[in-house]
Structures are given as C-alpha cells and as structure tokens.
Amino acid sequence: MRPTDPSSALHALSLRVQLVMACRCLLRWSVVWLMMAGVVVLAMRFKGVHPEDWRWGFAGAWGVLAVAAGIHSFRSRPDTRKLLAALDRQNQAGGLIMASGEADARSWEGKMVSLELPKVRWDSGRSFAGLGVAGAFVAAAFLVPTKYARLLAEPPLEISQQVERLREQIDVLEKERVLPRDDADAKRVELDRIEKQASGFNPSKTWEALDNLQRNNQQMAQQAATEAESKAGALDEASMLGQLLEMLPKDLQNQEALEQGMRMLGGLMEDMVKSGALDPSKLPPSLAKDVEEAMKQIAKGGMPDPAKLARMMQALEANNGQLRKMAQELAGKGLLPNPGDFFGKGKPGEGMSGMLGKLLEGEGGELAQIASGLLQGHMVGKGGISRGPGHAELQYVNESDATGTEFKEQYLGLSAPIQDGEVIGVTVSAPEVTGGEAILGKGALDSAQAGRGEAITAPVLPIHRGAVKAFFERAGE
Amino acid sequence: MDKPTLLQPAELEPATAIIAKICGQMDKCLLGRESLHRLVVIGLLSRGHILMEGLPGLGKTALARTIGKILHLDFKRVQFTPDLMPGDVLGAHILQQSAEGQREMVFEPGPVFTNILLADEINRASPKTQSAMLETMQERSVTLRGQTRKLPEPFFVIASQNPIEMEGTYPLPEAQVDRFLFRVKFDSVDETVLQRIITERRQGDLPEPDWQASLEDLAYLDEVLGRIFLPKPVAAYLARLVAATHPTHPEAPQTVKDYIRYGASPRAAISMGEAARAHALMHGRPTVGFEDVSAVARPVMNHRLILNYQARFDRVEAEDVLDNLLDSIDATGLELPPDMALLEK
C-alpha cells in the first residue's frame, strides 16, 4: 500500500533505507567478525581449548553486532531533505514533495495522492561472497582436528629416550645412596616438568635443561665415584696390610714393628668404619661379629686369631667389591664419562710401600721378598696404560758391556738458538742469492733479479701476512 | 518562522494559460521547432537575453519579430556590420537649434531603446560595438556623456550570430557571452515542416498572431514567476552543477577535468535558477523540480564553458561535456554507501 502524504512516504523510505543500510553494515561487520572468530577458533583449537558454551557466545556476539549495526545505520541515515528529494524525483513531483518540507503545500495535496517509494538497490554480491568465505573459514577452523592443530601449534620434541635415561640415572643414584630420596624426587619432578614443557619451537631450552640435569647427575656420580675410589684404596691398603701380617712368619724377631703394623691396621680399620668404607651393618652377622672381635684384638695391640683375621680380610674384600660394583653401576648408566679413570688408576702400593718399608726396616731377606711378591702379585693382570695399580719400577739387570764399541762421527752443524746470534751488519740490497735460478723462482724471490733490490719490493700478499707473522712470532723460538 | 505558502492553483493556472497561449501563437506563426519556441519564452519570462546561433535563413529574425508581435512589445532590429559604431546602436547627441535660435546637444536614442532588440549577426560587428552592448544587457541602461538613461521595461536582446567559422566574424568576448541567458542553436527543419512552409507561407510571409499578450499579462507573469518556490535540494543541485563545471572541483567529472579550462560563473547559477522557475511555471507547477533544472541546464551553460585545446583536438563540444556532467551529478545529493543506490524512474 502506497503512502498518501509526503511525511509518511518519507518515513517509509527512511525506514527502508535504514533497514538496507543496517543489513549491509551487519553483513560487512559479520564478515570481519567471522574472520576474527575463525582466527580465535583456530587459536583455541591449537591450544586445545574446548569451550562448552561457544554457541551461546557466538550468538550473543552476533546479537551485539546486529544491535551495533542498527545503531550505526540509524546514526548514518541520509538527510531528510535528500530523501524527500529522492521521493520527489521518483514521483516526478516537480519539487512539490521537496517543497512540502519547507513550505505550506496543502493546496497541492491533491497532486500527491499515491506516492511511490523508490527501490533501494544494494549490490550485495561481494558482501555475501565475503560472508561465504568468512563462514567457510570459521567452519574450516572448527573442522581442523585438535590433534593436528596442536601439532602445528606446538610441534613435539622427541626426548623420551633422554628422559628415560635420566630417570634411570636418578634411580641408580638413589639406589646407590649417592642421592637422597628427597633430592631424587625433586629431580624426578623437574624431569617431568621438562618433559611436559618440551616444545619443538624452542628445543634448545629443553636440551639445555636436560643437559644441565645430566651434568648435575654426572657431577654427583663422579664425586661419589671419587669417594668410593678413595675408600676402595683404603680398603686395598688395609687388605694388603692384613694379608702381609697374615703371611708373616710366626717367629718374626721384630715384634715392635709387628705391633706398629697392627696399630696401623687398627687405625685404618677405625677410619674406614668412620668414613663408611667399611660398614659392619651390611655384613652378615657372623662376619660382622668376627670383624668386630678382630678389630678389638688389633686395637689392644695383639695379633688377632688367624681365622678372624682371614674373616676380616674377607669383609674388606666384600666391601671393596661393593664399591667397585657401585662404580660399575654408575658407569653403566653413563654417569661416569671415563670409567677407566676410577678403580685402576690408583697405586695401592704407594700408600703402603712407605708404611711397609717403615715396617720392614729392621727385617730383610725373607720378609722383603714376601712383601715384594705381594706387591707384584697385586699388579699381575691388572695394569694397563691408563688403569691399574701403576707402573712397576724399572730394574736394570745384566747390563751389556760397551767396551770396544765405536760410533762414526757426524758433524751436526751449528745448533745455537737464533737469539744468540751476532748481528754483523745490514745490507741495503737483497742478499746475493747463490742457490741458482731454482731458488729465485720461489716465494718472495719469485721473478726477482739478483742484485737489483727487487726481492725487497716483492709484495707479501695480505692472505699470507698472517702466516709470515706467525712464523716469526713462534713461541719458544 | 512561518513557512511560506506555495502559489495556489487558482493563481498559477491563469499564468500557465497565458504562457500556453504565447507558445501556441508562436507555434502557429512559426512552423516547427516547438521546443525552441518554449525555450525562447522561458528566456523572456526570466528576463534573459537570448543568443541564437545558426546559418542564415533559418528563421532567427522571424522568431524575434514574431515574439515581439505576440508580446505586443516594441521591436527593433539592428543589422550588425563591421563598420557599425556604438552610437549607431546606443544613440548619439546631435547639435540642434531650437526655435529661439539656441543650439544644444540633443540626445537621439538609438535602436537599443526598445523592448525587444534583435541584434542580427552580432558577431559581425567589431569588438568595440559589441562591448557597447554590455551595459545595456546587464544594467538595462545606457550611459552617454555621463548621463544614464534607463531602457524601457521589459528589455530583451535577441541576438543572432553566424557560426564562428564563417568569414568576417568576430568572436564574442566571454564577458558579453556570459550576459546571454541562453544560447540556442538553430538547425534546419525537417522535410515535413519545410513542405508546410512552402505551401502555407507564400513568399515566406509570417501570419499575424490572432492573440497578443498585454502588458498586464506580462506583469502578472512576472509576479507569479517571482513566487515560484525553489526548494533547497534543487538550489543545492544547481550550485553543485555549476561548481562541478570547474575542473578543479572535487565533484567534477573526468570530461570536465579533461576538456574545460574555465567553468560557469555564478551568473550562470542565477540564470539557471530563473530559467528553471520559468520552466516550472510553464508546466503549471508552483515549485522548481530537478527536471526543470535539467531542461534548462544545457542552453544556460553551453556558451559559458570555455573549452581547452584538448577539446578542440578531440572535437568535443560543450554540449557533450554538459551531457556527461548532468549524468554524473546526482540531483538529490543523497550520500549512500558506494554499493547502495535508489532506483528511481
């Protein structure tokens, strides 16, 4: 139904224009909003967030958008006079409709019976195309599997092997009592955190953390191994001293030296118990009892019962074996980078030789041979370049006779250092070359004529200057 | 502030009837060119001068003579020639001796002292004589020897000019061209009209009009024309249209930027407003609409646009530029988003 007066026609036209403007605005804003929503959805899927009530949020946001579009179109609605002009033009009113807004045109209302509203054209193709694209983008964002999205967002870092290895190391350290339980648990928590935060975007951070943990474990293991080695050395020493005392003949005349040896052995045993190198609680009860009694006898300065002394030696060996086993365990988990540096590099004879020498000062012959044999026997099959009890002392025996041997004399030339040389003078020209053309064609003398000073001007290329400088600045020359 | 009241239909209808009679008499006396007759009537109603351009023998003089007869106004014709002097048009002081024997300079009015002056072949006169017409056309007065004399009311100049390409012509200066309300082009009539002229007009004699407007009629027309309402959107359209003829104006279309050196003057806007009022009155409307402006825009502005050399090279006429201008300027000035528009008839 057509309006019959300009004011109602104007109102209807204004509403029509505003409606189309609001739709247009809403559509365009929706495109932008959908694209942003698509980005947000993508981000949420990358992060693995699944909001439960996203539909309500979606609808609510779009509602707000619609209201804003309505307000915006209302505010930007065309001027009333211009709309009247459009209405006038549409109805070919010759200015009557326009004039109705400015002048009293009641006498001409009969000419404006039925007013036709102009149609509002909106080329919405591009906007709808944009909406379609934006909608497809949002749909695609929803369809992206979270698993792959997360893979894209946070590329995983494969560190399971390293983590497992570190976990085993911590277990070993805890088991060998190198690491207290609380510290071990703290390390495990730290390891779990590193594993969880491992990201392919920043692998160096993870690797650095793992390396730090590994380094820390190795330091602790090395410290423990060093201590174990030290204890093992003491155990060796005590063991050898015990064996020596055990093997001594019963009629040994130097009883004072024997008692001194016993006191040393007793002191060593007490030190080992205190330091933990010898732990009687870890020994079988009967063995522990025998060791305890032997130690008491030694402390009194007496010679323990041979059977008990043998049992004590057995205990020392057992403890020594445990320490070595611990070191092997640590090395097996990669905690000791160079396992050969421990338990083999030491020289058990060194610590004892002085003591034994002091012990054996007043006795020779048979006892010296026993001690020497003991030391030699200790080294059999256990030496090497970088491990073992140490090098045996070189003994020069059966020297060959050099009588009548002659050597041909050979002149070796001047071997005095250059700094001891004497400066005789400095030539203004190049030294005369006497080596022939073959020498002239080499190095700085290349293509230089002898006696013309050309050798001086021969350039040293920049790339060679470093080498030349280094040659003349050699250390120790 | 009270709203103005539009003309009542009862006030407007007599005026429209008078105009219809004038146009009817013109159509009767001058065969063919009905739209041209209405344009001339619009010009006269607007108190504007009309420049007619066309080849000799197309009826320019006949039209001027006929309109003079119909309006019952004094009519004079001056044939402009290269030796025509300003005094020949405006009048001159002549030494005369009175009966008492005293001699004095007496002003002898020229042919310009009339209601309708037909300046035939105005571009054949020298620039000096052409310039003598400036005051008469704009001020409707003549000043000689320090004395200004008003010309009779109403005063119209209907000038004819031959195409500028013809020999022995001087182009009218822009200042004078600007004083003409319309420039209308006379083209040959079609064969049917020509046949009627041959059969009905022996020796080319024009029939006498059987009705003549009185001075009261003209005064009434003038009064009614003054009350034709010009709505603000139409005034804005007029202003934008004239402003857009300047190549530096942001709303100027590309053809204006390409081919126009100087656009229309404010006098063009005033003239167009007056002509649009007359057009609305002729069509029995108390208000000016966009169609009135469109109807008079071409004859009002086609001689006011100064084309550049590029237009000459491209053989572009002022009418072509105006057509493009009228197409590109939205009359309503409605500012809608680029992808929105109102579909009008």
Q: Please give the interface size between A and B, counted as residue pairs whose CB atoms are below 8 Å apart.
A: 134
What confidence score (pLDDT) does residue A414 get? Answer: 58
- Residue A232: is its pLDDT beyond 80? no
Nearest CB to B340; choose among A90, A108, A122? A122
Decide if pLDDT at A353 tops 50: no
Is pLDDT of A415 > 80? no
B93-124 tens-digit pLDDT: 888 888 888 888 888 999 999 988 988 888 88
Average pLDDT, chain B: 87
Question: To the nearest whole angstrom, how far is the Cα of A80 from the nearest Cα of chain B?
Answer: 10
pLDDT in tens, A22-67: 888 888 888 998 898 888 888 887 777 777 777 788 888 888 888 9
Show the beta-strand stretches assigned E in chain B.
49-53, 75-79, 91-97, 103-109, 116-120, 141-144, 147-150, 156-161, 180-185, 260-262, 306-307, 340-343
User: What's the pLDDT score for residue A441?
Assistant: 53
Q: By the 8 A CB rule, do A448 and A454 touch?
A: yes
Whether pLDDT at A126 is above 50: yes
Tens digits of residue pLDDT in B277-300: 999 999 998 999 999 999 999 999
Average pLDDT, integer, range B115-137: 86
pLDDT for A365 equals 46
> pLDDT higher for A217 or A2?
A217
In angstroms, what separates the C-alpha of A203 from chain B's closest C-alpha?
52
Q: What is the separation, in whole angstroms, between the first and last Cα of chain B?
A: 35
Q: Regarding predicted confidence, which is higher, B286 or A466?
A: B286
Q: How far apart are CA B141 and CA B112, in angstroms?
A: 9
The pTM (predicted TM-score) of the whole model is 0.60
pLDDT on residue A447: 58
Q: What is the mean pLDDT of chain A?
A: 74
Mean predicted confidence (pLDDT) in B213-228? 90
> Chain B contacts of A75, Cβ < 8 Å?
none
pLDDT at A452 exceeding the cut of 90: no
Q: In chain A, pLDDT over 90 holds for what percent of residues?
A: 2
How far apart CA A210 and CA A189 sit, in angstroms, is 13
In this predicted structure, the answer to whether residue A165 has a pLDDT above a threshold of 80 is: yes
More confident residue, A43 or A453: A43
CB contact, 8 Å: A93 with chain B? yes
Q: Which residue has the higher pLDDT, A97 or A362?
A: A97
Find the helix or strand (DSSP H, E) in which A200 lies: none
> Which pLDDT band, with edges at 50, 70 and 90, does B241 fall under?
very high
Q: Is the pLDDT of residue B138 over 70?
A: yes
Determine the Cα–Cα distance for residues A206 and A203; give it in Å rounded to an integer: 5
Query: Is the CB of residue A20 less than 8 Å from the CB of residue A121?
Result: no
B→A interface, C-beta within 8 Å: 3-6, 8-9, 229-234, 237, 280, 283, 285-292, 331-337, 339-345
